[in-house]
Amino acid sequence: MRLPAEWEPQSGVQLTWPHRDTDWFRLDSVLECYVRIASAIQEFEPIVIMARDIDEAKADILRIIGEQHQDLDIDGIRFYKSPLNDTWARDHGGISVFGNDGGKLVYDFVFNGWGLKFASCLDNRITRNMFDDGAFKSDVSRIDMSPFVLEGGSIDSDGSGTLLTTASCLCSLNRNDYLSRAEIEEKLKRTFGLERVLWLERGGIVGDDTDSHVDILARFCSSDTIAYTKCYDSSDDNYVELSAMEDCLKNFRTAEGNPYKLIPLPLPDPLYLDDYRLPASYANFLVVNGGVLVPGCSSPKDEIARKRLQNAFPDREVVVVDCRPLLSGHGSLHCITMQYPCGWLKLDRI
């Protein structure tokens, strides 16, 4: 088994389309943001959209294209229908793995609403519905991983046998509390063909409700480089946890025994919904074919983050996309997307 890195060639990216019954504040601005993100992805590779109502989703897109003058080819999007609770594709989406014989596998883990915090019974079936509706090529197999609970945002792979994750999420109550940490690590190694699991013992961002998904904290950019969220302001409520995480990252070693090259990404300036601080993070970037999409906050820090990620990905175009509306749902760009490796998605259906 081998869990690929996100920077490996992709066939396309999945979005799950918001509708009026999903748990979004200011849905109109969220839909505009989805179109903005879809347009940015489409510059690099195809898009697959799961929608409760395909006609409704297309109408949303066409309206926003007309109003916002967005450049999005709706005829190039593949739509599939599925009931859904919410739209966080990173966490309800299937996780792609190469089998020992080179086979193409999509692991369908249990999604339980981030530890039973939110309704998830419909989202938990989206990957199955994608297969039933022919979204994947015939040589791709869905593997039911129940009863193990795992969200895509909770893990990050270097593609070479090392996994980065957080203890606070994977070992939390209401996920896999019937397993010890050692048993969880062994399960991860066996399932993904891993040699090592790097556990972040500290780290968190105020406003996050995932129990500290790693994809807002620290991400592999290569087998020897990690970009991470750094707080420079000692008066910020995030300073203690993010500084402790930085210390942990400095102690990690590559498979060859060397310190990782660490790229600090500034913590965005505080953003609020009423009095609730939102969990903004530049580490929630998405790697696509030939590009990296960075969630922007309409701040001078956007360009700082972009330049630092450009140094980490010198052969890719690094683009900032304004994702502030997504923060109202306590997530961002990486959280609403799921990529699939080259040759996995069936892209001849429109």
Catalytic machinery residues: 335
Q: Which residues are CB-neighbours of 24 under 8 A, at least 6 positions away? A: 18, 30, 87, 328, 329
Sign, CA dihedral 229-230-231-237, equals positive
Cβ–Cβ < 8 Å for 112, 124: yes
Residue 36: C-alpha distances to residues 72, 126, 237, 307, 312 (Å): 8, 23, 31, 21, 24
Instruction: Decide: helix, strand or coil at residue 132.
Output: helix
User: Residue holding tokens 């897109």?
Assistant: 61
Name 246's Cβ contacts closer than 8 Å, sequence gap at least 6. 228, 230, 262, 264
Fill in the amino acid letter for 90.
R
The answer to whether 306 touches 26, Cβ cutoff 8 Å, is no
Give me the amino acid identity at 279.
P
DSSP secondary structure letter of residue 161: S
